[in-house]
Amino acid sequence: MLHQGLRRGELLLLTADCVRSGFDKKRQMLRHWINVRQDEYEDDDADEPIDPMYSKPSINTVHSVRQIPVSPVTAQLVQTYVENYRGRPSHPSLLNSYIGNPLATESLTRAFCKASHALPFAVRQELIDRCNKDSITPHALRPFNRVENQRGS
């Protein structure tokens, strides 16, 4: 989210095969990117999720696609996560809940809340001093918000 400027809903829409690669003839190098779009594997007739609080992630414009370049390091990190930590859930989503379902927007927000509360006092104090906030939210990782927060807005 931080390095790619992804919104919370965009992150949760990524699939395990989200990183694409291709050889750039002009630059004579392998390039990597992710396409952020509404889930191409989504089954509209699927049963409702077990968790009644679950809301499907989405992007602002359903038919839009954002193509975001990623570094070779980021591409490798995603691949390592998929191969070694994701497990073999029955869904294509990149991120899972602890019980193996696609991660819900609410769960991601709760994870940020827990991580914020686990920050050392000095770090939380710096957040308050710099941003007038005592926690980190997914939205705060967006590049535009970081610039605004640095200006004191």
Of 132, 141, 135, 131, whose CA–CA distance to 119 is shortest?
Answer: 135
Kindly calculate the radius of gyration of the chain based on its CA atoms and give it in whole angstroms: 17
* Buried/exposed 82-119: b ≥16 CB within 10 Å, e otherwise: beeebeeeebebbbbeeeebbbbbebbeeebeeebeee
- Read off the pLDDT of each residue in 126-140 and give the average, rounded to a whole number: 86
Note if the pTM is more than 0.85.
no
Answer whether residue 12 shows pLDDT above 60. Answer: yes
pLDDT score recorded for residue 67: 86
Identify the DSSP state of 49: P
pLDDT digits (tens, 9 = 90+) for 22-65: 999 999 999 999 988 775 555 544 454 444 445 555 555 555 67
| Confidence tier at 148 by pLDDT (50, 70, 90) | very low
Instruction: Output phi, psi for 29, to 5 deg.
Output: -155, 160
- Range from 10-19, 41-50, 106-115, 127-136 carrying the lowest mean pLDDT: 41-50
Sequence spans of domains, the chain = 8-151
